[in-house]
């Protein structure tokens, strides 16, 4: 490995990038409430650049821990600032910054985008720097993933089968579903950042074996559990949380609608009072794991006045019988009908997504989250739970990326082309270095966001890390497939599964464009308008 880089130069480059981002955010803010929508191309690029630079800022602290860490921090920072430069070039006036805004960072980029330097780092991945307890958590879930999930992953993907019950029950025995549920409700959460970090670590390890049959299994009950903890009554928490914690009860989320994807405030599925409960009518789509689930978390309109938007929505816990992945039709003695139509997808198989049709499906009164106090509060309860889901999605992305990197590095060392291993060529070595830096940066950023969320903060940061991590996963898995050549395109190669699985990450838990524009860019502009400065770079 080349000599340890000067991290003060990396910190300086981050400061240059942050100044550009802050100036562009102020320009958006000056344009008024509609500026983000009026300047979507710039706002979208701003959000992605800001997310990458925030990850680089977190890597500066990681870089102080050793030589390998410093090298990866410098390599990632150079990529993040270069990405900002590429998005900025030719649009400086639109961003409201001078043409030479990034020029002070050029010497750093010259040194740390140098192919020879990057090539010298091939194979460097860096330690995670977890303490002994979390290393034990990682090892426990990694062993289960390798022994129980990985052997089934390819069959689940190729045949689009249901996730085996032994995987679900095994994860239940490990406590995977109770990581974020407090001990008083049968889970393992004791309060504080260790709960969030444990969830991130476990999710990464499970996702390395399979995004669908591993990491995402933990996310479904997590979202409902968070909503119940946020808005549920004490009786509701004690009724459902213990079963969610053990895996005895599995949950699915039914929020999105065919005509209202990320525009949740516009949903039309209704809930009307009837016979001591509520009748649900309407259609939901992209409800993942809905057939196997015992409970559905359904967001419905309880106030027929659509002008009230999200203030007219309430959240329901909807019980249902278990079904198989080929679709289902359920009926109630009262005449209610619930039909689930499976939606075939190119990846993320095993979880199965559904279009759900509720036709007079009756739900008891006490299944309204929060009771009477929860009427009109459903949007807020589900948004709180989705913020945690975005952090968890970033952890899933890290697991997929790490699996892809491992496969690519192994194949590059073994595959001989033109008389030399693929891994001996400079281009491959540069790719592997950049991939490793992206994986570690996303991982370290996830740890940092977990600590923020444990303090009741980090909503914007959770959106930012999802914005970066999901696109990074697409790139890393793409490069891993390319390193494999033709074999990477073959279904018999696990890297092809990782590639198509990674593609869904930018779509669920908040579509990339919506998250970038409606959350990240808008919040950056609001903060700039209020004169709120985000933390400065932690320069060594």
509 is catalytic: yes
Pairing of strands 353-364, 277-288: antiparallel
- Contact between 462 and 449 (Cβ < 8 Å): yes
Count of Cβ atoms closer than 10 Å to residue 497 Cβ: 26
- Distance (Å, rounded) from C-alpha 240 to C-alpha 443? 32
- Distance (Å, rounded) from C-alpha 398 to C-alpha 55? 13
Nearest Cα neighbor of 182 from 225, 121, 224 is 225
φ, ψ for residue 313, nearest 5 deg: -105, 145
Pairing of strands 251-254, 277-288: unpaired
Q: What angle do CA 2, 478, 261 make, to 5 degrees?
A: 125
Given the structure tokens 């933990």, which residue do they identify? 218
- Contact between 442 and 203 (Cβ < 8 Å): no
Nearest Cα neighbor of 365 from 234, 255, 273 is 273
- Distance (Å, rounded) from C-alpha 481 to C-alpha 479? 5
- Contact between 419 and 453 (Cβ < 8 Å): no
Given the structure tokens 């359904």, which residue do they identify? 298
- Token pair for 272: 């009307």
Helix (H, G, I), strand (E, B) or coil at 489: helix
Q: How far is CA 199 from the centre of its chain?
A: 13
Catalytic residue among 183, 457, 509, 526: 509
Q: Which residues pair with 287 in a beta bridge?
A: 354
Helix (H) or strand (E) segment spanning residue 326: none
Q: Where are the alpha helices (DSSP H) in 105-231?
A: 106-112, 115-120, 132-144, 150-159, 165-174, 193-209, 216-231
3-state DSSP helix/strand/coil percent for the chain, to nearest 5? 60, 10, 25
Active-site positions read 509
């Amino acid at each position: 490995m080349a000599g340890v880089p000067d991290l003060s130069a990396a910190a300086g480059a981050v400061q240059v990038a942050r100044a550009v981002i802050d100036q562009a955010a102020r320009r958006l803010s000056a344009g008024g409430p509609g500026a983000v929508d009026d300047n979507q191309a710039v706002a979208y690029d701003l959000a992605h650049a800001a997310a990458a630079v925030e990850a680089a800022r977190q890597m500066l602290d990681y870089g102080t821990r050793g030589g390998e860490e410093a090298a990866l921090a410098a390599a990632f920072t150079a990529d993040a600032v270069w990405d900002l430069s590429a998005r900025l070039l030719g649009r400086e006036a639109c961003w409201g910054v001078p043409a030479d805004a990034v020029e002070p960072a050029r010497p750093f980029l010259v040194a740390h985008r140098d192919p020879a330097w990057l090539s010298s780092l091939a194979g460097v991945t860096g330690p995670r720097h977890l303490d002994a307890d979390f290393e034990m958590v990682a090892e426990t879930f990694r062993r289960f993933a390798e022994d129980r999930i990985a052997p089934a992953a390819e069959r689940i993907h190729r045949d689009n089968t249901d996730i085996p019950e032994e995987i679900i029950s095994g994860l239940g025995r490990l406590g995977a579903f109770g990581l974020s549920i407090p001990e008083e409700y049968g889970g393992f959460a004791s309060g504080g950042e260790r709960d969030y970090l444990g969830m991130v670590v476990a999710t990464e390890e499970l996702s390395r074996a399979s995004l669908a049959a591993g990491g995402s299994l933990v996310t479904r009950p997590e979202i409902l559990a968070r909503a119940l903890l946020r808005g549920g009554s004490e009786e509701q928490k004690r009724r459902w949380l213990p079963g969610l914690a053990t895996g005895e009860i599995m949950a699915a989320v039914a929020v999105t609608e065919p005509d209202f994807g990320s525009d949740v405030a516009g949903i039309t599925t209704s809930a009307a009072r009837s016979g001591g409960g509520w009748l649900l009518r309407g259609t939901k789509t992209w409800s993942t794991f809905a057939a196997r689930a015992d409970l559905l978390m359904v967001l419905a309109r309880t106030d027929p006045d659509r002008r009230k938007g999200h203030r007219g929505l309430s959240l329901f816990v909807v019980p249902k019988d278990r079904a198989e992945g080929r679709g289902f039709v359920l009926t109630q003695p009262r005449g209610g009908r619930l039909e689930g139509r499976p939606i075939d997808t190119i990846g993320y198989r095993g979880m199965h997504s559904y279009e759900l049709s509720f036709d007079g499906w009756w739900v008891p009164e006490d299944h309204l989250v929060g009771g009477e106090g929860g009427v009109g509060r459903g949007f807020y309860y589900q948004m709180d739970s989705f913020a945690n889901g975005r952090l968890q999605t970033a952890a899933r992305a890290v697991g997929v990326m790490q699996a892809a990197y491992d496969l690519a590095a192994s194949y590059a060392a073994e595959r001989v082309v033109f008389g030399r291993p693929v891994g001996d060529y400079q281009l491959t070595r540069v790719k592997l270095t950049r991939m490793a830096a992206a994986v570690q940066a996303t991982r370290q950023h996830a740890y940092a966001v977990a600590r923020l969320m444990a303090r009741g903060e980090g909503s914007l940061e959770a959106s930012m890390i999802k914005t970066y991590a999901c696109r990074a996963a697409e790139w890393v898995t793409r490069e891993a497939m390319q390193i494999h050549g033709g074999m990477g395109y073959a279904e018999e190669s696990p890297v092809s599964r990782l590639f198509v699985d990674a593609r869904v990450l930018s779509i669920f838990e908040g579509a990339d464009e919506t998250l970038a524009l409606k959350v990240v860019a808008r919040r950056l502009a609001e903060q700039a308008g209020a004169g709120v400065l985000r933390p400065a770079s932690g320069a060594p």
